[in-house]
Structure 1
Amino acid sequence: MNVSKMDPGKPVAVVGAGLVGAGWAIAFARAGLRVRLYDANPRTAEQALPWAANQLAALHDHGLIDEAPATIAARLTLADSLAQAIDGAAYVQESVLERVDVKRQLMVDLEEVADRSVIIGSSSSGIKASDFANDLAISPRVLIAHPVNPPYLVPVVELVPSTQTSQETIAFTDALMRGIGQSVVHVRKEIEGFVLNRLQAALLREAWALQRDGIASCEDIDKTVRDGLGWRWSFMGPFETIDLNAPGGVADYANRLGPLYYSIARSRTEDGPWDDALIARVEEDRRRHLRADELAARRDWRDEQLMLFAASRTKSGAR
């Protein structure tokens, strides 16, 4: 879909105006779409537009948008109700609390006010759409559209249909996401955590275990990813990485190191959940390097680095 070909009378609605929802609003508005934001919490809604304006100014400073920030910000409006937000919308991006009951209630509410054509994407990080969106009239038009936060800087989006999502819904959302510049991943079967968070979970599981077992500190584990694995992973994925890391390619790599990775995996089969004592220990370890009152500033620094990285990738043509 070329977003310029979307009916100009049909905006996009974002329901849930926290960091993820407001981030989605920037991604849509940057592509030229009008966006209505709604949040049941008035304070969250009020903070969304000023925050978006600040982010747009930063994007402009880094050369990541050509239009004036104010021009893009003018495409963002707050809605007073759910019905007002989705009235006539072509697409709804749901970004509410990550709880089945909350998402299910929203689907029920959407069914009462949505027209018969609107497509609904959920920003769910790991809850399957079938768990909250099935057996409703709108069910064929609902799927997961899971971003990485912030979606206007990190482009990947996972599209995960429910058992009742129509092929037309998948095709529409694929075209929309490509049209606004996202990198679309199709998850072919529903699974908890989808692809991104299952990969992240595997790394986090090992990271917490290494800290728990006294093998390395949080900072040294972070260094290993930040100054090692992350350099390659910033422009290629795990399969391409290993394909290039053995003379004969991926099969050669698997034959050489497959037994090692199998042995490593078997060594962690008895790991349980992160308990209170471990969480407290990791919290103490992290706070040695970043005080709690510095977290917000460090998040701003992170977004600044992502903008610099995005600008670099744009110039280099990396994919």
Structure 2
Amino acid sequence: MSKYDLVADIGATNARFALTRNGAQGLSHIQVLACADYPNLETAMAAYLDSTDAIGLIAKVCIAIAGTVHMPEFSLANNHWRVNKAQVSAAIKHDILWINDFTAQAWAMSEINSSDLLLVKQGQAEEQGNRLVMGPGTGLGVAGLIAHDQGWLPVMGEGGHVSFSPSSKVQAEILAYMWQRYGHVSAERLLSGSGMMDLYAAVAHINAIEPSLTKPAQVLQQAQLATPDDLAHQTLSIFCDMLGNTVANGALMFGSVGGVYLTGGILPRMYDFLLTSSFNHSFTSKGRTSAYLEQMPIYLCMAQQPGLQGAAIALNNDRERMHATT
């Protein structure tokens, strides 16, 4: 019988699984499981495989996960799971290609269909120029996509955990508020689903307003009403301003003349708001490098499962690399 590849995209909130015989374009049996419903990755994978007809038919496995995958054991930053790679391999009786979740996002952007992209900012992309892949979800993911020979090479890291850099007096006040709570204030502490409520609380504190909302989804929804909640609207406006500056920092580091690709679960839910916000102005307001940044186009990925697509592409590239060395 034909064998499948198993691909997984594991974030802080959801664990996504799929089977494929034909790479990124042939995903099937896609399921999204809530991480909170399972004690660890092994049980979530077992539950998924039990629901398919693929047990005993798995050829290769790739797990893209929001963690420090170069280590034999690691914890996820924003949920209760601790992953022991050897134990996971033993549980499914397979060697596993482990990649960072935003490495998978970067791989996906190397083959993304233009129909899955929305334009955020005009620009002139270099066809073989480096790209930045970045986006807020439960955390803040960052990866580079570097032109390499005739293809692409993802560069992974933990860019969401760099120190937050304010670019205005209000943002400096927000940083001062956050310092009272955390010893280190990373970009992710503010520019993510997990950080949205801290940002909301900080804006409320600065304006001496009693906050009333309790979930990021409420802030997103209330900020975008025809008659928006004022505190939610301020919060989301500041979020966009901060994000523009932070994305520009990443674009400068990677030299992203091939364009910037925004992904993650938050921005597709606020595309119109993003376009009318100060995001683009904040992105290009970088003094002597403003003209450089003005040339970079910015796109928003609207694909349904880019992490799974990227994991499938990573497997194909790994398979080709192994064939080339044998």
TM-score normalised according to structure 2 size: 0.33
Select the structure with the greater relative contact order (CA < 8 A; seq sep ≥ 6): 2
Higher helix share: 1
TM-score normalised according to structure 1 size: 0.33
Higher strand share: 2
